[in-house]
Structure 1
């Protein structure tokens, strides 16, 4: 049975507030616009704030590209207590009187840059034998999570408001758990630590400064919300664009290779007279689509 709804297409960038889940926001927006299809590019914990990029219709075909893009987070690490959730909402599981110096923090951060391994928080969406880790944790089940690779582009101190805390800014690749960074940094410094607050300040090409607040989004009419949508190609700013010939555009729309005017390396997207046609690769002067956008 076909999913009901209107063929709404585009991106809406929301500045997510604390206290609401990412999926809840997507579902509410989809309901408001009666959209047939919607999704988001990267979950934020309910307590976290910041950039949540929501895709509608054909824009959902670009979600995986945005999910793989670099993202930036600003967060406060609170020293003195490690919690069951690695954030301020969990129960304290260990404590320490140690408060690291600025110099010790700066030195310890070196080990958290580049290619690292991190164990996700026990209260996370990682699957263990088909079950979500957060469900197993809430049921009191014993389980172990395997370390996962993460690329950390940068991790820097931006503020030291008190001996009890430090504010960091991290740029990382797909699959980063800020809560794990805080927990492991505390251990590396010989103390205990957790995330006090967390904010995603940008995700790929989308920046919090340009995002729509959740309150503002809810105040808009469905028509105004749809008018606020960004085009599909707004999520493709980090990838090269190739312009197609008229006949090439026709062929690409049908899912076939089409002629382009220039070459490109790796993943790129094809355009004809401002219309985004699809994602793919250029081979021998032709664009080979892996995903085609339906007009």
Structure 2
């Protein structure tokens, strides 16, 4: 018999403005405790030293995490020129140095090669699995690895500031699976001056913006109160990139039981992935086929109270 999860059966998204220091898992555990939620997860890991948007899903919203993970994300980061490290960030050991400092025009010209469909090799210190083990674990043991390049879609990569000759601040919008540290490393190599990430901030992720995020101190202050509950965004926020269809009353019943159900759809084609709502709440995600939604995920949400 499966053990029952402890905590409240609540669902939604809490946007956290993660500080430098804690891991993404630490933040999720803190949010789960503060909301007394029965389950929680995040949509896209941030390195411990990175700051910015960490969108935490609780309850049934955890079923929408893949749609936020797949969404575009924006990062602002500062590259330290002239120094390469074994971690590709400021926490690592220095591997090599260079006195070369390219000008702004040279940097802007080099950025063009990192836009569009690119291939990037993850950092040695990353969560990529190698023969069943995390690369960072092997790297800590002194093992050098040949990591395979991975595809990444980069929507844009802009030079937004040059604080001094040694530093350049960039803004990147990209798809899932991107390593900002790899961008900094590869840009430094392309420029012939070396480089690593000094500061990194995720400024938005899908529909979630850092300006709307709560700090860890705020979460601590409002923990286990209605004030924190009021900051929960609806589960449906995680489905904004999918078309919405409306379930009929009979269709909603069938969908909640995991069966195909009738829906009312506009501007949706056969086979499209969509989400179905009923009385303002998400019921299921699945494929639209001949007037029915064939569910792949079903949401167990209470219906909104009826008007008296």
The TM-score normalised by the length of structure 1 is: 0.97
- 1:273 equivalent to 2:279? Answer yes
Which deviations, in whole Å up to 9, do the C-alpha atoms of 1:110-142 show, x marking residues without a partner?
Answer: 110111010101111111101111111111123
- Answer whether contact 1:80 1:95 (CA < 8 A) is retained: yes
* Distance in 2 (alpha carbons) for counterparts of 1:129 and 1:38: 29
- Gap regions ≥5 residues in structure 1: none
State the distance in 2 between where 1:123 and 1:13 align.
Answer: 27
Q: Is the 8 Å Cα contact of residues 55 and 63 (structure 1) preserved in structure 2?
A: yes
Counterpart in 2 of 1:258? 261
Structure 2 residue runs without a partner (length 5+): 302-308
- Map 1:52-131 onto structure 2 (within 5 A): 52-131=54-133
Which moved further from structure 2: 279-288 or 194-203? 279-288
One of 289, 294, 304 as aligned partner of 1:288: 294
Cα displacement string for residues 197-229 of structure 1 (whole angstroms, at most 9, x for unaligned residues)? 000000011111111112111110313323321
38-47 or 258-267: bigger deviation: 258-267
Aligned residue in 2 for 1:185:
187
> 2:201 aligned to 199, 202, 206, which one?
199
Contact persistence 1:8–1:226 (CA under 8 A): no
Cα deviation 1:225-248 (Å, max 9, x = unaligned): 233211110111222111111111
Q: What per-residue deviation string (whole Å, max 9, x for no partner) do you get for residues 133-166 of structure 1?
A: 1111111123221111111011111111111111
Do the aligned partners of 1:3 and 1:36 also contact (CA within 8 Å) in 2? no
CA distance in 1, matches of 2:192, 2:25: 37
Cα root mean square deviation, aligned: 1.1
Q: How many residue pairs end up in the alignment?
A: 295
Instruction: State the TM-score, normalized to the length of structure 2.
Output: 0.93
What is the rounded CA distance, in whole Å, between the counterparts of 2:130 and 2:31 in structure 1?
31
Aligned position for 1:246: 249
Alignment check: 8 A CA contact 1:53 1:206 kept: yes
The correspondence for 1:236, drawn from 239, 245, 254, is: 239
